[in-house]
């Protein structure tokens, strides 16, 4: 059960910074009374913005953007069939505009602060075995809401905004198949309801990997399709970036290695393949994980 709770937590360790690329819940359950806490660091950079109809080489005003995040994560097994997951990131976004541009526009090259608190519950109603293969079905639900005082209504300065200041209510259906040799495949799909002018979105993910005693490795493909929204600099755009149609496909890999005494370390890489109204970033992450 200790192994499962670690794997259930790994999906959190490379959460995207400005747009959630990976799902906040996985196909593994913690088990009753089991907990995991982690502190992670992630970073990504982009100098190309995926727009419609044409991409932009170079970020308007800021040329390129670097985003760094330090996050606290926790996961707890309420029972063998219920898990609770919590995350809270501190984010810093830094542009590369020259001083004369900043002075002329009255902008700054940095924005930072506490972003959004995420709280999710996961329920595992049904499992079954087919020979040496096991099938697991889960449902996830959660809320993500801003608790920092960051701004999103500063015109082009908000290219560096650390979030969209929307409260979202998210539902997910998850299915996982596990093989006797440690290989697994997880698929999930869901919908995110968001308040204000932020468009709702369809979300999904496919993840394949190996979960062994001494190492965990996975590769994933995740996507989001906004249900509405405008395009940056397109018809109806009024300079309010949270109202845009943020759609994308992203891929990545994760690795986790246990060390001793309940501690372990993890790392991940990810990249946007394509999208709309999003920076085409490459990112990495690392974390120290403690399970008990």
Structure confidence by residue, pLDDT tens digits, 59-86: 999 999 999 999 999 999 999 999 999 9
Q: Look at residues 231, 221, 227, 148 and name the one whose alpha carbon lies nearest to residue 185.
A: 221
> Could you tell me the maximum CA-CA distance found in the chain, to the nearest angstrom?
69
Residue 9 φ then ψ, to 5°: -90, -25
pLDDT of residue 200: 97
pLDDT of residue 10: 53
Q: What DSSP element (H or E) covers 170?
A: strand 168-178
Residues in contact with 226: Cβ distance below 8 Å, sequence separation at least 6, in sequence order = 199, 200, 201, 244, 245, 246, 247, 276
Question: CA 91 to CA 71: how far, in whole Å?
Answer: 8
Question: What is 2-291's CATH topology?
Answer: Porin (2.40.160)
Question: CA 119 to CA 167: how far, in whole Å?
Answer: 12
What's the mean pLDDT in 203-218?
Answer: 93
Q: Look at residues 253, 122, 137, 256 and name the one whose alpha carbon lies nearest to residue 187.
A: 137
CB 5 within 8 A of CB 36: yes
Q: Burial letters for 118-152: b for 16+ Cβ neighbours within 10 Å, e otherwise?
A: bebebbbeeeeeeeeeeebebbbebebebebebeb
Domains of the chain, residue spans: 2-291
Q: How far from chain centre, in Å, is Cα 121?
A: 16
Residue 1 pLDDT level (bands cut at 50, 70, 90)? very low
Question: CA 187 to CA 206: how far, in whole Å?
Answer: 5
Sort 171 into a burial class: Cβ within 10 Å, 0-12 / 13-18 / 19+: middle
Q: How far from chain centre, in Å, is Cα 39?
A: 15
pLDDT in tens, 12-62: 444 433 344 567 788 888 899 999 999 999 999 999 999 888 888 999 999
pLDDT of residue 53: 84
Which pTM does this prediction carry?
A: 0.88
Residue 97 pLDDT level (bands cut at 50, 70, 90)? very high
pLDDT of residue 7: 54
Question: CA 157 to CA 170: how far, in whole Å?
Answer: 29
Quote the tokens at residue 99.
Answer: 């001083």
What's the mean pLDDT in 153-182?
Answer: 94
Query: Of 19-23, 182-186, 209-213, 233-237, where does mean pLDDT reach its minimum?
Result: 19-23
Q: Which segments of 15-120 does DSSP mark as H helices, in order?
A: 99-105
């Amino acid at each position: 059960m200790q192994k499962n709770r670690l794997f259930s937590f790994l999906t959190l360790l490379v959460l995207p910074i400005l747009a959630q690329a990976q799902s906040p819940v996985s196909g593994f359950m913690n088990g009753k009374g089991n907990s995991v806490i982690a502190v992670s660091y992630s970073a990504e950079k982009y100098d190309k913005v995926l727009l419609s109809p044409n991409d932009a080489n170079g970020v308007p005003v800021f040329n390129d953007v670097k985003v760094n995040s330090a996050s606290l994560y926790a996961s707890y097994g309420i029972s063998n069939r219920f898990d609770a997951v919590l995350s809270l990131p501190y984010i810093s976004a830094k542009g590369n505009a020259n001083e004369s541009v900043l002075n002329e526009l009255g902008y700054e090259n940095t924005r930072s602060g506490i972003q959004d608190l995420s709280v999710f519950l996961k329920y595992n109603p049904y499992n079954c075995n087919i020979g040496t293969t096991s099938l697991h079905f889960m449902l996830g639900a959660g809320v993500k809401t801003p608790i920092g005082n960051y701004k999103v209504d500063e015109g082009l300065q908000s290219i560096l905004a650390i979030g969209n200041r929307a409260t979202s209510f998210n539902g997910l259906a998850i299915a996982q198949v596990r093989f006797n040799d440690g290989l697994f495949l997880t698929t999930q799909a869901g919908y995110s309801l968001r308040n204000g002018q932020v468009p709702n979105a369809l979300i999904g993910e496919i993840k394949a990997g190996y979960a062994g005693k001494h190492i965990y490795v996975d590769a994933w493909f995740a996507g989001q399709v906004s249900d509405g929204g405008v395009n940056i600099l397109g018809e109806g755009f009024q300079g309010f970036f949270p109202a845009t149609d943020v759609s994308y496909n992203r891929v990545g890999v994760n690795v986790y290695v246990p060390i001793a005494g309940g501690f372990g370390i993890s790392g991940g890489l990810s990249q946007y393949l394509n999208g709309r109204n999003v920076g085409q970033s490459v990112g990495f992450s690392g974390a120290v994980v403690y399970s008990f």
